[in-house]
Structure 1
Amino acid sequence: MLQRTTTACLCLAIFLVLGCENEKVPIPFKPRNDHEAYEHALEEANLLSTALGADWKKGAKTSLESPIKITSPFEEAIYVDDKEAVAIGYQFNAKRGQKVQVNVEKLSLNDAKTFVDLFRIDEHNKLHHVATADSEELLLGFEPRRDATYVLRFQPELLRGGEYKITIQNVPTLQFPVAGKTDRAIGSFWGADRDGGRRKHEGVDIFAPRGTPIIAPTDGYVRTAGKRGIGGNVVWLYDSKRSQSLYFAHLNKILVKKGDRIKLGDTLGTVGNTGNARTTPPHLHFGIYKNGATDPINHLRAAGNRLKPVTGDLSMLGQEVRINRSTSMSVDANGKQTVSITKNQIARTIGTTATQFRIELPNGQEGYVRKSVISGLDRSLERLYASSDGTLLKSPDRRAFLADVEPNDQLYILGKNRDFWLVENDAGQKGWITNNYKNQGRSRRSYSDEPR
């Protein structure tokens, strides 16, 4: 009896073990950001298997692999068609000491979820997600720990459109330490010769009248305050947020003491020329130390030139337009790679900076052109009378049927794209025809000086 019971228990144990080995407990999905959570929700709803859902997922990837190259600061207003899966990537450089600051503003009223994510490209050309914009305010701030190239991805949810303005800047991480002054007051930079070339300058000198307040560029606490050798009256402030020490030298007066907790903007002392600066005009020597001295300039000065904001009328965004003269289109905002565009080419405006439109050609190619080469379609180029049956097309593709063209139909030519022309009929219907109508037209005359 005991043997039968033992055998039965052993068989039950084996069954339970084998059952546990075969059972697979699903691992719960834990998204790292809102974009991943939304993509997972689309997958759960089987929407990624639809054409639009597949385009959304592909766009998210393509925008990172083929981003628009820009230089910070940069601002662009963009148009998002609610019938398209739009994703845009912007590639730019940022350095340690700078703060990547991104602001996305909705220019048209909509409650669409909008995903804004920042990625770093490593030395092996791999992408690492480093920051996500606040989902409500659409603000993003990130301080690089190293000099690197970054890609910002912008992507709204499906079936939502509108107009947005995207602003990307590399701003200083520290407030300027001399009251009322900017980086223009820096008169001596990192690496300048000192003592006849026997040593190098480990900081920057900021010139200001004696007694000008020296203010804390960040929160921290005072490690040292007092007279110290060639620095004269000095203050060492520890920046715990960035694990670095800030050095203030040649002060006229010190207004803090060791151990003081300091808030951004507090006065540490006043500008002077104590120590080995006795023979120079009053100035603050400012240095940063983290595993040795480091150049403070990126911590104090914004990258690039002044931001050129997008202003004025944005009514052309999302509209079909005509190129009014032969020109070059740059495939990125920096204008380093260009393609030629012929006069009267039709395009669609999908973005605008202060000086350029970003356009999309009928073949899907995108790029930037000067604003001056863009015209609206309120005036036609020519008027054409069809002499035979024909076809009006939805796009410059012979298979994209839209409507029939009857003999004697009057067509207004709005623009041209290689083998196709964009036209409008008397009913206000726009479409494309093949340019062989040029030979079939019963009568045709210039119509560029009159509205349709």
Structure 2
Amino acid sequence: MWYIIYLGNMVRFLLYNNPMKYASYLIVGLLLLGISSCTEIQKAADVITNPSAKEVYARNFEKNDSLFLLWETRFEEAKKDSLQVLLPYAESGIFSEKILFPYSYDLQLREGERLVVEIEKPLDSTQVFIDLFKKSQDTVAPLKLIKSSEIDIPHLSEAITEYGWYKVIIQSGIGERIPFKLKIYTQPTYGFPVSGAGNKNIQSFWADPRDGGSRSHEGVDIFAKRGTPVVAITDGRVSSTGDRGLGGKQVWLRDGLFGKTMYYAHLDSIATTTGKRVKQGDTLGFVGNTGNARTTAPHLHFGIYKTASGAINPLPYIKRTDLPEISWENTMIKGSVKRNTTLQKAPISGFETIATLKKGDTVAVLGKHEAWLHVRTKDLIKGFIQERFVNELPSN
């Protein structure tokens, strides 16, 4: 395996410097390294091209394989689905060898959040593919692929840099039948700026009116006892410290050369110096009420600034989120509707209706979220229906 890694690094260097000149050298190098099989050559090429897990999986099938073509078609169809979920979201279901339909969800994400998609399954050998797309405001524009899961890794994590609607598509390998648990949630990109505090300590938010409405709040206020340490939310460099203006005693922390700048204000005292390199969790100062906060309880005014756009809402960057728990398990594969009811776009009562189901209609059950079933109708429409309106049918 060492020579494959060596070859990949050599190929990168040669192609970068002069791809035409060194093409023949690369061929000779392959022979000299003793790479005699197509598999080993492919591994060497993968070091350079870094294919997605789905691209590697596709090599197991002929291009005209009817089942594989249907599997790919279902994936393309899933891009057009419009099911929505609120985060955190959890679902329990069964990947069925008879159902090639992917699981697809639209979700709204904010800059500063880190999206996490996890699949828990009993067999490590079972292939599961996760793709994250960014949706455009133009409904006819194609989806933009943001990230795909890696080979043999049934989870995906991505920091969100732009507010908007996104789509997650999850698809199992062909012929797989295994139970699974799905979790989709967000985590903040950064740590929390006040030691020992959390969401409950945030009592004033972005855009709240200030000075009788003449200006708006460009940050969040985190209340804590005087002297509570305020800490670096990421590794960085202290770009400025001082006692001036509305912010009183303050610290500015820079996240990388072209990154964001964090603003810590109203400090009781400062515990760092300009130019100092700090690690996440290092103490920068202590909670107070200096500056224009002298008449309020001790708190940290915390803001984030971008060079191009100025102040941005810091809440998504630091807000702690609950991890989803699954206290239910779905084993149903097929069901019959008990009475006339509606198929909904999201597992929320009163949400947008996709279709009307009649008593006796059969549905394929993809999964379960709390008291809702994620189903597909005979017309290939996917949506959510309350579990109490469905009787289980034999799957054969």
Shared fold, TM over 0.5:
yes
Q: 2:338 corresponds to which residue?
A: 324
User: What do the CA deviations read for 1:171-199 (whole angstroms, capped 9, x no partner)?
Assistant: 32122211222223222222233334443
* Mapped contact 1:68–1:333 kept (Cα < 8 A): no
* Mapped contact 1:176–1:183 kept (Cα < 8 A): no
* Mapped contact 1:310–1:352 kept (Cα < 8 A): no
Q: 1:416 corresponds to which residue?
A: none
Q: 1:298 deviation in Å?
A: 2.0
Pair 1:38-2:54 in alignment: no
Q: 1:308 deviation in Å?
A: 5.3
Q: 1:103 deviation in Å?
A: 1.3
AA aligned to 1:92 is L
SS for the counterpart of 1:35 is: helix
* Mapped contact 2:52–2:150 kept (Cα < 8 A): no
Q: 1:101 corresponds to which residue?
A: 116
Pair 136,265 (structure 1): closer, same or farther in 2 beyond 3 Å: farther
User: What do the CA deviations read for 1:411-441 (whole angstroms, capped 9, x no partner)?
Assistant: xxxxxxxxxxxxxxxxxxx98xxxxxxxxxx
Pair 1:294-2:317 in alignment: no
Task: Tell me the distance in 2 between the aligned counterparts of 1:38 and 1:376.
Answer: 34
Q: 1:63 corresponds to which residue?
A: 78
Task: Tell me the distance in 1 between the aligned counterparts of 2:210 and 2:267.
Answer: 19
SS for the counterpart of 2:144 is: strand
Matches within 5 A, 1:147-158: 147-158=163-174
Pair 282,298 (structure 1): closer, same or farther in 2 beyond 3 Å: same
AA aligned to 1:167 is K
Matches within 5 A, 1:219-368: 219-240=235-256, 243-291=259-307, 292-301=310-319, 309-316=325-332, 318=333, 320-334=334-348, 335-368=351-384
Q: 1:356 deviation in Å?
A: 0.5
Pair 298,31 (structure 1): closer, same or farther in 2 beyond 3 Å: same
Pair 1:141-2:157 in alignment: yes
Task: Tell me the distance in 2 between the aligned counterparts of 1:312 and 1:199.
Answer: 48
Q: 1:272 deviation in Å?
A: 0.5
Task: Tell me the distance in 1 between the aligned counterparts of 2:256 and 2:282.
Answer: 16
Identity across the alignment (%):
31
AA aligned to 1:143 is A
Match of 1:112 among 119, 126, 136: 126
Give TM-score scaled by structure 1 length: 0.70
User: What do the CA deviations read for 1:110-135 (whole angstroms, capped 9, x no partner)?
Assistant: 51222111111234422221112243
Q: 1:282 deviation in Å?
A: 0.3
User: What do the CA deviations read for 1:290-335 (whole angstroms, capped 9, x no partner)?
Assistant: 03111212222368xx66533234333x2x3333333222144453
Task: Tell me the distance in 1 between the aligned counterparts of 2:272 and 2:155.
Answer: 35
User: What do the CA deviations read for 1:351-402 (whole angstroms, capped 9, x no partner)?
Assistant: 1111211123344333211122233359xxxxxxxxxxxxxxxxxxxxxxxx
Q: 1:31 deviation in Å?
A: 6.2
Match of 2:89 among 67, 74, 80: 74
Q: 1:213 corresponds to which residue?
A: 229
Aligned residues: 344
Pair 1:372-2:388 in alignment: yes
Task: Tell me the distance in 2 between the aligned counterparts of 1:159 and 1:115.
Answer: 14
Unaligned runs of 5+ in 2: 1-44
SS for the counterpart of 1:65 is: coil
Unaligned runs of 5+ in 1: 1-27, 379-429, 432-452
Q: 1:53 deviation in Å?
A: 1.1
Task: Tell me the distance in 2 between the aligned counterparts of 1:142 and 1:362.
Answer: 35
Match of 2:148 among 126, 132, 152: 132
Larger radius of gyration: 1
User: What do the CA deviations read for 1:81-106 (whole angstroms, capped 9, x no partner)?
Assistant: 12443322211121111111211211
* Mapped contact 1:98–1:302 kept (Cα < 8 A): no
Pair 325,310 (structure 1): closer, same or farther in 2 beyond 3 Å: farther
Answer 1 or 2: higher relative contact order, Cα 8 Å, separation at least 6. 2
SS for the counterpart of 1:167 is: strand
AA aligned to 1:37 is V
Task: Tell me the distance in 1 between the aligned counterparts of 2:93 and 2:393.
Answer: 20
AA aligned to 1:168 is I
Task: Tell me the distance in 2 between the aligned counterparts of 1:233 and 1:166.
Answer: 46
SS for the counterpart of 1:376 is: strand
Task: Tell me the distance in 2 between the aligned counterparts of 1:64 and 1:364.
Answer: 14
Pair 355,180 (structure 1): closer, same or farther in 2 beyond 3 Å: farther
Q: 1:32 deviation in Å?
A: 4.5
